[in-house]
Amino acid sequence: MTENNTKDQQHQQSDNNNDDNTSNQIIYQIDAHCHIHDTMLSDNSKTPSINNIPLQIQVKTSQLCEMGTTYYDWPTVSALHSHHPTRFIPAFGIHPWFVQRVPGLPENTQDPISTAEGLDIPDTWESELEAYLQKHPNAIVGEIGLDKKAVKGTTKLRFPFTSQIHLFNKQLDIATKFNRPVSIHCVKCQGSLLDILRNTPPSCLPPKIMLHSYSGSIESLKDFLSIPGGVGRDRIYVSFSKLVNGRNTEKFAEIIRAIPDNRVLIESDVDSMDDVDECMAFSENLVAVSKEWSIDECRKKVYENSCRFFGILDGGNEE
């Protein structure tokens, strides 16, 4: 028996024992957006190491949606879900910060550092994304999006926006083709995202759309919620995190109050399991105070919203 086979059996046994030692303390809440697999990549940041996948998931939050961002982390996201299928919802996508690694996009110039590190994304990425969605029927598409604020650390230049739009639209089309929800990163370009969603026929948009760690204005929020064709009314969900929304709780309390009760989600947006529960508790409290709900009422409503967004029936696991 190989070491990896032994590890696989240990993981299977762990899953059969509810994946953790705190099952009687589980909080039925879904972390709608996190990146804890970032700490599980092997040294070259390209391939997952089976030895880095934890045997037990020591968080009280019942499920976590694990966001792929680079193409090269998709195998790790897939492996994490395969070993802990009741605790993780996988998400596969290419974040706008990695747009210059993607071939064939307008405005794109080759990123010499990514090339030197062997991190250029192959032109097969679209078919590979589709293959992961086929492998994981409960997977969503994310983290995808648009960003006019972030700059590349090595050049201090913003990421080419026309390329971002092309990459975003390609991934939006794949999500629609497979009828999967999307998690969208949108920073300082709410108008551009609104234009895309308004000008795309509802039949060509995903069934559910999460505005992750929403950082826009209340005016933009109202515009998102009024996108015609039932998109704003039925498909837009808005999520909040300590990392982004904890910086100005008064502003975001007003925004949360403007969101329909059945469209609010919460997330940690962290890359360490040690931080998940604390960050989720912060987000839960932010929503509860803003909506004037008790914690128990907030937990119930947001969990139901999360189950609806992720397509989990009857408030339970889909597997």
The answer to the question of residue 215 being in a domain is yes
CATH of the domain at 169: 3.20.20.140
- Say if residues 181 and 205 touch (Cβ distance below 8 Å): no
Annotation-wise, does 166 bind a ligand? no
Of 148 and 57, more confident: 148
| Res. 155: pLDDT tops 60 | yes
Domain-located, residue 92: yes
Res. 263: pLDDT tops 50: yes
pLDDT tens track for 45-59: 555 566 678 888 899
Q: Is residue 220 part of a domain?
A: yes
Q: Is 70 exceeded by the pLDDT of residue 83?
A: yes
Binding site annotation covers 212? yes
pLDDT tens readout for residues 216-259: 999 999 999 999 999 999 999 999 999 999 999 999 999 999 99
Rounded average pLDDT over 138-149: 98
Instruction: Look at residue 57 and tell me if it is in a domain.
Output: yes
User: Hey, what are 225's tokens?
Assistant: 């919620």
Instruction: Provide the number of structural domains found in the chain.
Output: 1
Q: Which structure tokens are listed for 224?
A: 């998102």
Q: CA 108, CA 110: separation in Å to the nearest integer?
A: 7
**End-to-end Cα distance, the chain:** 29
Distance CA 302, CA 261 (A): 8
Beta strands in the chain (DSSP E): 27-34, 61-67, 88-92, 140-147, 182-187, 209-211, 236-240, 264-266
Annotated binding residue 84: no
Q: Can you give the residue range of the structural domain that contains 56?
A: 3-12+28-315
CB neighbour burial string for 204-231, b if at least 16 within 10 angstroms, e if fewer = ebbebbbbbbbbbeeebbebbbebeeeb
Inside any domain, residue 17: no
pTM tops 0.85: yes
Beta carbons of 167 and 185 less than 8 angstroms apart: no
Q: What is the pLDDT of residue 114?
A: 60
Say what the pLDDT of residue 115 is.
Answer: 60
The residues, any chain, with a CB within 8 Å of residue 70's CB and separated by 6 or more, are 94, 95, 98, 101, 119, 121
Q: Is residue 132 part of a domain?
A: yes
Q: pLDDT-based confidence at 118, cuts 50/70/90?
A: low
Q: Name the percent of the chain in helix, strand, coil, to the closest 5.
A: 50, 15, 35
Identify the CA nearest to 160 among candidates 70, 114, 168. Answer: 168
Is residue 149 a part of any domain in this protein? yes
* DSSP, residue by residue, 39-51: GGB-TTSSSB-GG
Q: For residues 309 and 116, what is the distance between their CA atoms, to the nearest angstrom? A: 40
Residue 11 counted as an annotated binding residue: no
Sheet holding 61-67, edge to edge: 27-34, 61-67, 88-92, 140-147, 182-187, 209-211, 236-240, 264-266
Question: Token digits for 158?
Answer: 């913003």
239 in a structural domain: yes
pLDDT tens column, 172-197? 999 999 999 999 999 999 999 999 99
